[in-house]
Amino acid sequence: MKRRCAVVEIMKAIAYNTYGNPDVLEFGDQPMPKVGPGMVLVKVKAAAVNPVDWKIMAGSLDAVMDLQFPAIPGWDVAGVVESVGIDARQFQPGDEIIAYGRKDYVHGGSFAEYIALPERLLARKPASLGWNESAGLPLAGLTAYQVLNRLGLKSGETVLIHGGSGGVGSLGIQIAVARGASVIATASEKNHEFLRSLGAEPVAYGDGLAERVRSLRPNGVDVVADFVGGNLEATLAVLAEGGRHASIADSEVEEHGGDWMWVNPVGDDLQELADLAYSRKMRVEVAEVFPLEKVADAFRSNMEGHTRGKIVIAIDQDS
């Protein structure tokens, strides 16, 4: 069995050498990642953009996240296993995988031709999704999946999802619907038909949100999942007696009985989600696709705050 890719020693990647805005990103040659014990080398077919990528690049997470320059950004990946390291036993060269590739420090990310990943982060790519859609599933989907698990969302309950049209929210709606929950989700008017197509009742965010939700559910909702931040007042105003809530973007919820959560890179959870995506024919909405050289433009687009679904970087999909 092939254990190491010895042929290619340099690869193309996007990297930055200093914190900053998208102007710090440079396209060029980087060394091929080394593939240690228990790791696999993945040929990247597609990588997805998440807000955390440009927040890390801006230095906003410097207090909590180690980073080594030059840093190749990107945590979401869909690709093909090229080779495996010593004692990596679960995956073989040729396997089609997805991963939320968050490692112990930021350095070798997925906006590159190749990425080395610990096997424990990998799941098998759902056959129902193409490369671009698959790349959009891991980070955003796992976030929604783990939040709804933590909240114990059950069939027959109503959940309000703040931020239904973003990457996390659009997958969260589908996961909640798959559980048999009734879903109300917020977005601007232009995205209301999109929310309906995913199975949610849309409501506009902003002033009067709590009243709009109460008009749909006078007794309140059982669960609130906040995938945007800045909604605590509305959350508390719409929760039914004994209701549960969590946020991925607002630590203040902890002072009001909620959970403030960070997504955990667990391959087994991702496999459950990938299987669910396959069996329930879940959609990953791809808003825009950029080539590897244009990651800066992809970041600028996501930074506007109105991405519907996911922005994807497609890499060498013809070979």
Which positions lie near ligand NAP, rule CB under 6 A? 50-52, 140, 143, 162-163, 165-169, 186-188, 191, 205, 227-228, 248-249, 261-263, 302, 305-308
Nearer to ligand NAP, 218 or 305 (CB): 305
Question: In the complex, what is the shortest distance from the CB of residue 144 to ligand NAP, in angstroms, rounded to a whole number?
Answer: 9
What is d(CA 122, CA 119) in angstroms, rounded to the nearest whole number?
5
* CB-based closest residue to ligand NAP: 166
* Residue 115 CB partners (closer than 8 Å, separation 6+): 33, 41, 42, 44, 74, 77, 79, 101, 108, 109
Map tokens 């230095």 to a residue: 59
CA distances to 45, 96, 167, 254 from 114, in Å? 9, 14, 24, 39
Question: In the complex, what is the shortest distance from the CB of residue 147 to ligand NAP, in angstroms, rounded to a whole number?
Answer: 8
Question: In the complex, what is the shortest distance from the CB of residue 122 to ligand NAP, in angstroms, rounded to a whole number?
Answer: 19
Q: What are the two backbone dihedrals, phi and then psi, of residue 136, each rounded to the nearest 5 degrees? A: -80, -10
Nearer to ligand NAP, 187 or 198 (CB): 187
Q: What are the two backbone dihedrals, phi and then psi, of residue 216, each rounded to the nearest 5 degrees? A: -85, -35
Nearer to ligand NAP, 140 or 153 (CB): 140
Question: In the complex, what is the shortest distance from the CB of residue 5 to ligand NAP, in angstroms, rounded to a whole number?
Answer: 31
Nearer to ligand NAP, 28 or 208 (CB): 208
Nearer to ligand NAP, 158 or 231 (CB): 231
Q: Identify the bridge partners of residue 229 per DSSP, sorted by sequence position.
A: none
Closest to 74 (Cα-Cα) out of 58, 52, 96, 95: 52
Question: In the complex, what is the shortest distance from the CB of residue 129 to ligand NAP, in angstroms, rounded to a whole number?
Answer: 18
